[in-house]
């Protein structure tokens, strides 16, 4: 109402005082951004406690029970309304605050990596619990970043009576790419105007257009045969394990004739019961990765043919179940450019000598050619990666959201450059001052970008223009799952059942210890003798 009435006089106002009309709102925005930055800084302790707590939970995908309970508790305490168990996933939730437009979604992943248990701040492999999962990617830090940014901006929006809705959500089971396509399918992003995703990295960065890396389908093939005595009457049995092995042999021959950017890998999830019983059931779990939707679909069709062939050869039957899916990512130009301006203003954290010593010692431990330590210069704004230059790589199911609503991924410098990924080494920095400072820097950028979007509705409009007329002009989103595909929430249950009792003894208690390093009694940094000096 107010806006409509005001619009009738804007034309006149612009004619009379163009300078003030153009400048005043920007000055207000700049002042509010400054305020947001200091409000984020004032919450550095909260950031550290959240980062360290989630690190100590070390939960795998679909088992993020403590993590979700803890993070939603903090959000509720800060006035967010939390809806739990969304999309049929017990550990998934959406938290909302505010009213009206724009609706800004802040997301980040929360799950860990198998076998990645690791003492933080120690520059060599030293698990807290051997064999247990841990945060060997750094997913303990992204939602804490978003919470700090959201609380800071919420205070400002309340005080200034700014319209807008903040929606926080977790990337459940990102390592299985098994939640975001389900969130999209179930309409959780229907009313969202802009999606600001964030993911741990080793620099502050953002990109637009087609990202590097791949999309994928994660699918488990199960074969069924018949048991028999493996020595007494093997001719009476039909081996499902033979089918798995033949499918894998077939796939590995075919591999030579697939396009260069493709990646595929598998684990045998069921290889039978015991050698003297012909395996009646056996399963193999594949990730098929490619850089564009049509190529992923083609790999899936080849996989299905392989399963069919293996079943024919072994006189077994086969079935399959999609366990995860991720579209190749495409990020929004307007939002990326807006974010990048804020990245330039915030800049990288000031690293201490201890931070750099840890980073260089780890790079040496891993045998890296370069031991340059932590990033000291911000990355350029990332540009679209042409398909012909994309040689494949990892995936993230944020891809599905990026094809549903204008999206970016903000990377923040909480980890050490030059690590193999999905490995204990990526956990080393993740409950140290490196992670804490990286999260605070990222939260500042995120808070500033939220204010840009709240104060300048034209940015949201431009973002959708890019989405509608450029990004989705020739390519529309086609999900790999349908309305009946259940989320595979059974995954990782057995691993957590096995390790959780022991892991519980190491949960971080912020009421007793200033940091998790203090609780574990770790001297920061701990490096091998002879690597402490460069
Ligand atoms: Zn990740």
Return the pLDDT at 10.
45
Query: What is the percent of the chain where pLDDT is above 70?
Result: 95
CA 199 / ligand 1 centre spacing (Å)? 6
pLDDT at 15: 43
pLDDT in tens, 342-353: 999 999 999 999
d(CA 219, CA 385): 27
CA of 113 to the centre of ligand 1 (A): 10
Q: How far is the CA of 292 from the centre of ligand 1 (A)?
A: 20
pLDDT at 446: 98
Measured in Å, residue 17 CA sits from the centre of ligand 1 at 49
In the chain, % of residues over pLDDT 90 = 94
What tens digit of pLDDT does each residue of 443-473 get? 999 999 999 999 999 999 999 999 999 999 9
pLDDT at 24: 77
* CA–centroid distance, residue 26 to ligand 1 (Å): 35
Distance 174 CA to ligand 1 centre (A): 6
Cα dihedral sign, 8-12-15-21: negative
139 CA to centre of ligand 1 in angstroms: 6
Distance (angstroms) between ligand 1 centre and the Cα of 121 equals 20
Going by C-alpha positions, the residue among 359, 347, 422 that lies closest to residue 113 is 422
Q: How confident is the model at residue 23 (pLDDT cuts 50, 70, 90)?
A: low
Question: What gap in Å lies between CA 116 and CA 209, rounded to an integer?
Answer: 32
Residues 486 and 185: beta-carbon distance below 8 Å: no
Say how many Å lie between the CA of residue 310 and the centre of ligand 1: 34
Take residue 228 and report the two structure tokens written for it: 């028999």
Task: Tokens for 493, please give them.
Answer: 């249950």
Contact 254, 236 (CB under 8 A): no
Distance 395 CA to ligand 1 centre (A): 9
Summarised one tens digit per residue, pLDDT across range 494-526 is 999 999 999 999 999 999 999 999 999 999 999
Q: Is the pLDDT of residue 9 over 60?
A: no
Query: Please, which pLDDT band fits residue 1 given cuts at 50, 70 and 90?
Result: very low
Residue 142 C-alpha to ligand 1 middle, in angstroms? Answer: 10
Bond prior to 102 in cis (omega within 30° of 0): yes
Ligand 1 centroid–CA 137 distance in Å is 6
Return the bridge partners of 194, or none: 104
Angle at 52 between CA 64 and CA 395, to 5 degrees: 55
406, 476, 477 from 473: Cα distances, Å: 14, 8, 11
pLDDT on residue 125 = 98
CA of 396 to the centre of ligand 1 (A): 7
User: What is residue 341's predicted lDDT score, i.e. its pLDDT?
Assistant: 98
* Helix/strand/coil (H/E/C) assignment for every residue in 117-171: CCCCCECCCCCCCCCCCECCCCCCCHHHHHHHHHHHHHHHHHHHCCCEEEEEEEE
Residue 12 reports pLDDT greater than 50: no
Q: How far is the CA of 133 from the centre of ligand 1 (A)?
A: 15
User: Ligand 1 centroid vs 171 CA: distance in angstroms?
Assistant: 9
Q: How far is the CA of 69 from the centre of ligand 1 (A)?
A: 21
Length of the chain measured in residues: 534
Burial of 270 (0-12, 13-18, 19+ CB in 10 A): middle
In angstroms, what is the span from residue 197 Cα to ligand 1's centroid?
11
Distance from the CA of 105 to the center of ligand 1, in angstroms?
18
- Distance in Å, CA 284 to ligand 1 centroid: 24
User: What's the rounded mean pLDDT across residues 325-343?
Assistant: 98
**Ligand 1 geometric centre to CA of 70 (Å):** 20
Q: How far is the CA of 416 from the centre of ligand 1 (A)?
A: 14
Q: How many angstroms is it from 44 CA to the middle of ligand 1?
A: 23
Ligand 1 centre distance from Cα of residue 108 (Å): 9
* Dihedral sign from CA coordinates of 362, 368, 371, 374: negative
The pTM of the full predicted model, rounded to 2 decimals, is 0.94
User: For residue 408, how far is its CA from the centre of ligand 1 (angstroms)?
Assistant: 14
Please tell me the predicted confidence (pLDDT) of residue 409: 98
Using alpha carbons, select from 72, 65, 289, 323 the residue that is nearest to residue 182: 323
Rounded to the nearest whole angstrom, what is the distance from the C-alpha of residue 19 to the centroid of ligand 1? 45
Q: How confident is the model at residue 430 (pLDDT cuts 50, 70, 90)?
A: very high
pLDDT for res 530: 66
pLDDT digits (tens, 9 = 90+) for 45-88: 999 999 999 999 999 999 999 999 999 999 999 999 999 999 99
Q: Does the pLDDT value for residue 202 go beyond 50?
A: yes
């Amino acid at each position: 109402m107010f806006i409509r009435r005001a619009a009738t006089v804007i034309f006149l106002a612009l004619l009379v005082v163009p300078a003030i009309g153009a400048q005043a709102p920007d000055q207000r925005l700049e002042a509010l951004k400054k305020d947001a930055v200091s409000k984020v800084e004032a919450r550095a302790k909260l950031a550290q406690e959240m980062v360290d707590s989630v690190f100590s939970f070390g939960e795998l995908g679909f088992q993020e029970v403590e993590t979700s309970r803890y993070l939603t508790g903090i959000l509720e305490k800060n006035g967010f309304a939390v809806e739990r168990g969304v999309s049929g996933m017990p550990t998934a939730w959406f938290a909302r605050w505010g009213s009206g437009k724009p609706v800004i979604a802040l997301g980040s992943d929360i799950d860990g990596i198998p076998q990645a248990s690791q003492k933080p701040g120690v520059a060599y492999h030293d698990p807290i619990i051997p064999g247990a999962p841990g945060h060997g990617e750094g997913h303990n830090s992204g939602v804490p970043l978003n919470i700090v940014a959201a609380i800071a901006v919420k205070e400002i929006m309340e005080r200034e009576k700014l319209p807008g809705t903040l929606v926080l959500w977790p990337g459940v089971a990102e390592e299985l790419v098994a939640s975001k396509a389900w969130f999209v399918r179930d309409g959780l992003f229907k009313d969202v105007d802009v999606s600001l995703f964030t993911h741990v990295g080793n620099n502050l960065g953002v990109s637009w257009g087609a990202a590097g890396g791949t999309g994928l389908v994660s699918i488990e093939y199960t074969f069924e045969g018949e048991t028999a005595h493996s020595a007494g009457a093997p001719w009476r049995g039909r081996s499902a394990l033979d089918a798995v092995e033949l499918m894998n042999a077939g796939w590995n021959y075919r591999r030579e004739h697939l396009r260069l950017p493709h990646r595929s890998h598998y684990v045998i999830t069921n290889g039978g019961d015991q050698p003297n019983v012909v395996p009646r059931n056996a399963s193999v779990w594949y990730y098929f990765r490619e850089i564009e939707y049509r190529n992923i679909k083609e790999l899936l069709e080849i996989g299905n043919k392989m399963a069919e062939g293996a079943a024919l050869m072994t006189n077994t039957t086969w079935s399959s179940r999609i366990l995860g899916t991720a579209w190749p990512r495409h990020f929004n130009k307007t939002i990326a450019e807006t974010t990048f301006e804020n990245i330039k203003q915030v800049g990288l954290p000031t690293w201490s000598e201890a931070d750099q010593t840890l980073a260089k010692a780890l790079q040496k431990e891993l045998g890296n050619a370069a031991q340059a330590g932590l990033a000291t210069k911000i990355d350029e704004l990332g540009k679209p990666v042409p398909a012909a230059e994309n040689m494949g790589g990892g995936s993230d199911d944020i891809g599905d959201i990026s094809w549903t609503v204008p999206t970016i991924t903000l990377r923040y410098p909480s980890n050490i450059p030059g690590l193999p990924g999905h490995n204990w080494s990526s956990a080393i920095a993740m409950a140290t001052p490196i992670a804490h400072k990286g999260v605070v820097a990222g939260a500042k950028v995120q808070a500033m970008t939220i204010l840009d979007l709240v104060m300048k509705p034209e940015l949201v409009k431009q973002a959708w223009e890019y989405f509608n007329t450029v990004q989705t002009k020739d390519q529309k989103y086609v999900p790999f799952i349908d309305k009946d595909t259940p989320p595979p929430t059974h995954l990782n249950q057995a691993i957590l059942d096995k390790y959780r009792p022991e892991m519980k003894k190491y949960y971080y208690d912020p009421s007793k210890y200033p940091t998790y390093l203090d609780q574990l009694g770790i001297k920061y940094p701990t490096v091998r003798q002879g690597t402490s000096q460069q």
